């Protein structure tokens, strides 16, 4: 049995880019409770101002093991963090255990996750903080194979 997708409730104070992603994602969940796929999203509906702060992870399965490859990093994220991690695996980067844990949780629970005021531990700019909303995607509607994060920096 899969967890109910209705159990995630975003906080009232969610910033506009994160609220927009949640609205898009939740509007694409089918009546049967199937998750949207990456192909269900048109970049035009993501709003141009928000696209630079999107990152996309591929979920790589090897038996019971999960790995996460960073498929895309928006230019705004690159500017804020000072590095482009496109193509990297999270488990090969320093200080990413919390990010990996959150990604694993989304895969296992098929639920979005929200974090607020987190330090940029995986870069030299750890004095900066971010909030992020991650949403799981599934090509078959059931098995999570991608994760989109929308980030906001402070």
Q: Please state the domain count of the chain.
A: 1
Contacts of 114 by beta carbon, 8 Å cutoff, 6+ apart = 10, 11, 14, 18, 131, 132, 133, 134
Here the CATH number for the domain that contains residue 20 is 3.30.450.20
Q: Is residue 2 situated within a structural domain? A: no
pTM for the structure as a whole: 0.90
Please write the tens of the pLDDT for every residue from 71-130: 999 999 999 999 999 999 999 999 899 999 999 999 999 999 999 998 887 777 777 889
Cβ neighbours, 10 Å, residue 93: 16
Q: Is residue 35 situated within a structural domain? A: yes
Longest alpha-carbon distance in the chain: 44
Q: Is residue 122 situated within a structural domain? A: yes
Q: Is residue 135 situated within a structural domain? A: yes
Range of the domain at 65: 12-153
Q: Is residue 4 situated within a structural domain? A: no
Please write the tens of the pLDDT for every residue from 17-73: 999 999 999 999 999 999 999 999 988 888 888 899 999 999 999 998 999 999 999
Token pair in block for residue 50 = 């928000």
């Amino acid at each position: 049995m899969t967890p109910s997708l209705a159990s995630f409730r975003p906080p009232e104070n969610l910033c506009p880019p994160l609220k927009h992603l949640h609205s898009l994602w939740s509007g694409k969940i089918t009546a049967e409770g199937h998750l949207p796929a990456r192909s269900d999203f048109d970049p035009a509906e993501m709003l141009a101002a928000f696209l630079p702060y999107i990152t996309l992870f591929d979920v790589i399965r090897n038996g019971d093991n999960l790995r996460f490859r960073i498929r895309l990093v928006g230019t705004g994220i690159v500017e804020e963090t000072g590095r482009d991690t496109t193509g990297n695996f999270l488990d090969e980067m320093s200080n990413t255990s919390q990010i990996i844990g959150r990604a694993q949780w989304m895969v296992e629970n098929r639920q979005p996750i929200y974090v607020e005021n987190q330090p940029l531990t995986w870069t030299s700019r750890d004095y900066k903080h971010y909030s992020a909303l991650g949403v799981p995607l599934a090509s078959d509607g059931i098995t999570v194979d991608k994760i989109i994060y929308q980030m906001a920096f402070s």
